[in-house]
A and B are shown apart, each in its own frame.
Chain A
Amino acid sequence: MNGVAPSRRISAVSPPAAGAQGEDGPLALTAQQALWLELNQFYIREAWLLDERKLKQWLDLFTDDVLYFMPRRKNVPRRELHRELTPLGDLAILEEDKRYLEMRVARLETGMAWAEDPPSRTRHLIGNLEARRLEDGEVEARTAFLVYRSHLETDHQLLSGCREDRLRKVDGAWKVRRRMIVLDANVLLDKNLSVFL
């Protein structure tokens, strides 16, 4: 947990972590720490769903009004870094709603989505979580990822980047309602981008 033991006996405002025990009795977490744990668990769960190809369950982690967005990343001089990411409305690598995500997942099940048949072997490593609760009850969370993809015989790629998510609770479960994926690449070195990030 951030590599630092939480302060003991500080009562959590909300929600308390269930069952955490310290040497001196029950361990209380700050609301911020509890949120961090909850979201960390969310992202670990998501990574396993993706790597185990349980994509229909993965789709349930998104709200019905989700925007799944991956801008392009340009080479610009340091003094013009505000132009590095292409804004929404310019051509993006992905600008998908739930319906498009559903189509992408359904496509794989036809047995004729050749980019992923046989499927890629992926490993999603998600880390560097930072989370912040917003006034409207939503949460802003960003994470860094390394995704390894191995395909067919010897094709392999390492995708590195970050996700900036907006999440909200729907029926007691966190769901992503906006995801911006920023790749650390200008020209993608991959033959295609057929795995989910």
Chain B
Amino acid sequence: MAAVREYAVIDPVTGKLDRRIFSDQAVYDDELERIFGRAWLMIGHESLVPAADDFFHTYMGEDPVILTRDGAGRLHALLNMCRHRGNRVCRADDGNAKRFMCSYHGWTYRNDGALDHVPGESEAYYGALDKSALGLVEARVETYAGIVFATWDRNAPDLDAYLGDARWYLDTVFNRRDCGMQALGPMKWLEPVNWKTLVDNCSDNYHVPTSHLSSALVQMRWLGRPRLSHEDQFASPHRHAFVNGHSLTFRDADDGMPRYVHGISKETARLFEEYHRATLPEVERRLGALRARRIQLANHSIFPNGILGLRLALPRGPRKTEFWHFVLVERDMPEELQRAIRIGSQANNGAAGMFEQDDVDNWRQVTEASVSRRARRLPQDLSMGLGHAGPHPDYPGLVSERYISENNQRLFYQRWEEFMNAPDWARIPLAPMTARFDGTATMRG
């Protein structure tokens, strides 16, 4: 790793952001080391590997990783790279396998990473090969309510501290039921954009009434979805909160509004309402009355690249991102309701999603503005809501006064600077956990 460069890209006083971080190869290389090499990265979900010997192929940044469940039920995140020459040992997206054999020379690994068999171990290597030192490289793995995270950094804090008080909000979507959640997906596609713009966009509620008005209009007419306008957004009871790099937007309203937004139409609203009522006592036991009844997580991102539920923005170079879209449903949700959520979610999000397809060209042109000579000298303006955020008596984190604010964007790029400038994890600050986690739900679910 080159000498640590000092990054000062966001001016917290003016909200000006140096846009060269969206296309510069040297910056990107530093990001792979200092962010993707250190942070806890969302890589999958336990439900993708439900049985012994199941595996799911995923990524930590650009590193291919096999998420396995070994014969004893333990999860492993293994770098998909044979320790001999570096070929991948797994080419399938998912499956069930006790062993992974490299297709080059036949080195074979157990699904806990141990190197099990090397052709010619005694004849060709004269018994001198130390197989015990040549297992697949393993990352640290921890889970939160079934979501699997991994980090390459031994010195990273535990995942509980990494998420910190962000979990207070995240629980209201990911940790509501005793039965846990099932992940469906992913759908995968490449976007010609810098990964940070996708993440930044996940708490940018300002763009919604402009970028997505066409979809909102037809869904209002065909599905009976609510009207969408800037005025409604400015007046909404939603807020932004920010903790440890995690951007959260949430709603605080005790109106019995169902928890899932995707898939609600005039025909399906009844299903959502019935389910909400039927599960409320359980959710209240798990999360306490305030979170069960009032708080509803909306758009959000988990630093660095977990976005909007279980979705991943995988960096593929400074101007390319592979987008992975999953849908999560609660396991014992009625099938009819699961279907409504699945169809509603895939109609809105994903490569073909009505909402999501309209984002790409905007993001892409933002990325490209960081390339051209004249444009890249002009900073982004992230000044909205400067001075209108702070601690709140009821909500953890740094909280904005309004739903429409660039507070989270400014803080996201400040968090980015903290990671990029710190020589090691000891210098990356973590907010103390002060939230009251009422109820029985834990990190484990």
A107 interface contact, C-beta 8 A: yes
CB distance from A65 to the nearest CB of B (A): 15
Contact with B along A88-127 (1 / 0, CB 8 A): 0111111110011011101110111111000000000000
CB distance from B317 to the nearest CB of A (A): 14
CA distance A80 to B187 in the complex (A): 20
Tell me the A48-107 residues at the B interface (CB within 8 Å).
70, 72, 74-77, 80, 83, 89-96, 99-100, 102-104, 106-107
A192 interface contact, C-beta 8 A: yes
Assess the A91–B185 pair: CB atoms within 8 A.
Answer: yes
CB distance from B39 to the nearest CB of A (A): 23
Contact among A75, A93, A111, A112 for B350, CB-based, below 8 A: A93
Contacts A91-B187, A93-B346, A192-B352 given: A186-B217 contact, CB under 8 Å?
A: no
CA distance A103 to B220 in the complex (A): 10
Assess the B95–A192 pair: CB atoms within 8 A.
Answer: no
Assess the A106–B218 pair: CB atoms within 8 A.
Answer: yes
Residue in B91, B95, B214 whose Cβ sees the most chain A Cβ within 10 Å: B214
Contact among B95, B187, B222 for A72, CB-based, below 8 A: B187
Assess the B190–A189 pair: CB atoms within 8 A.
Answer: yes
Contact among B95, B191, B211 for A191, CB-based, below 8 A: B191
Assess the A90–B351 pair: CB atoms within 8 A.
Answer: no
Contacts A99-B222, A103-B218 given: A192-B189 contact, CB under 8 Å?
A: yes
A11 interface contact, C-beta 8 A: no
Contact with A along B354-372 (1 / 0, CB 8 A): 1011101110100000000
CB distance from B279 to the nearest CB of A (A): 22
Assess the A103–B354 pair: CB atoms within 8 A.
Answer: yes
CB distance from B55 to the nearest CB of A (A): 12
CB distance from B186 to the nearest CB of A (A): 7
Contact among A106, A152, A186 for B361, CB-based, below 8 A: A152
Tell me the A154-197 residues at the B interface (CB within 8 Å).
186-194
Contacts A95-B343, A100-B347, A115-B358 given: A187-B188 contact, CB under 8 Å?
A: yes
CA distance A190 to B187 in the complex (A): 13
CA distance A90 to B325 in the complex (A): 13
CA distance A194 to B186 in the complex (A): 19
B160 interface contact, C-beta 8 A: no
Chain B: number of interface residues, binned into ranges: 35 or more
- Chain B residues within an 8 Å CB radius of A70: 352
CA distance A70 to B339 in the complex (A): 16
Assess the A191–B327 pair: CB atoms within 8 A.
Answer: no
Assess the A191–B214 pair: CB atoms within 8 A.
Answer: no
Contact among B222, B325, B352 for A94, CB-based, below 8 A: B352
Tell me the B189-232 residues at the A interface (CB within 8 Å).
189-192, 211, 213-215, 217-219, 221-223
Contacts A191-B361, A191-B364 given: A91-B184 contact, CB under 8 Å?
A: yes
CA distance A154 to B46 in the complex (A): 41
Contacts A103-B354, A110-B214, A152-B361 given: A187-B93 contact, CB under 8 Å?
A: no
Contact among A80, A100, A114, A190 for B358, CB-based, below 8 A: A114
Secondary structure call for the A interface: loop
CA distance A115 to B346 in the complex (A): 16
CB distance from A156 to the nearest CB of B (A): 12
B322 interface contact, C-beta 8 A: yes
Assess the B213–A74 pair: CB atoms within 8 A.
Answer: no
Assess the B346–A92 pair: CB atoms within 8 A.
Answer: yes
Query: B215 — nearest CB in chain A belongs to which residue?
Result: A107
Contact among A104, A108, A188 for B189, CB-based, below 8 A: A188
- Chain B residues within an 8 Å CB radius of A111: 214
CA distance A117 to B350 in the complex (A): 19
Assess the A74–B358 pair: CB atoms within 8 A.
Answer: no
Assess the A93–B187 pair: CB atoms within 8 A.
Answer: yes
- Chain A residues within an 8 Å CB radius of B223: 103
- Chain B residues within an 8 Å CB radius of A193: 189, 351-352, 357
Residue in B184, B189, B218, B326 whose Cβ sees the most chain A Cβ within 10 Å: B218
Assess the A187–B184 pair: CB atoms within 8 A.
Answer: no
Contacts A75-B91, A100-B347 given: A115-B357 contact, CB under 8 Å?
A: yes
Contact with A along B327-363 (1 / 0, CB 8 A): 1000000000001001100110011101011101110
- Chain B residues within an 8 Å CB radius of A100: 343, 347
Residue in A76, A93, A100, A192 whose Cβ sees the most chain B Cβ within 10 Å: A192
Assess the B214–A188 pair: CB atoms within 8 A.
Answer: no
Query: B344 — nearest CB in chain A belongs to which residue?
Result: A100
Contact with A along B94-114 (1 / 0, CB 8 A): 110000000000000000000
CA distance A111 to B187 in the complex (A): 28
Contact among B211, B346, B364 for A91, CB-based, below 8 A: B346
CA distance A77 to B95 in the complex (A): 9
CB distance from B208 to the nearest CB of A (A): 12
Tell me the B242-261 residues at the A interface (CB within 8 Å).
none
B92 interface contact, C-beta 8 A: yes
Assess the A114–B222 pair: CB atoms within 8 A.
Answer: no
Assess the A91–B326 pair: CB atoms within 8 A.
Answer: yes
Given A72-B187, A80-B95, A113-B358, 5 additional A-B pairs, CB 8 A:
A75-B91, A91-B326, A103-B215, A108-B214, A192-B357
23 contacts between A and B (CB under 8 A): A72-B187, A75-B91, A76-B92, A80-B95, A90-B185, A94-B346, A95-B343, A100-B343, A103-B222, A110-B213, A114-B362, A115-B361, A152-B361, A186-B93, A186-B188, A187-B188, A187-B189, A190-B190, A190-B351, A191-B189, A191-B190, A191-B360, A192-B356
Which 7 interchain pairs have the tightest Cβ spacing?
Answer: A188-B189, A91-B184, A115-B357, A192-B357, A193-B352, A110-B214, A91-B185
Q: Which residues of B contact A (CB under 8 A)?
A: 91-95, 184-192, 211, 213-215, 217-219, 221-223, 322, 325-327, 339, 342-343, 346-347, 350-352, 354, 356-358, 360-362, 364
Q: Which residues of A contact B (CB under 8 A)?
A: 70, 72, 74-77, 80, 83, 89-96, 99-100, 102-104, 106-108, 110-115, 152, 186-194
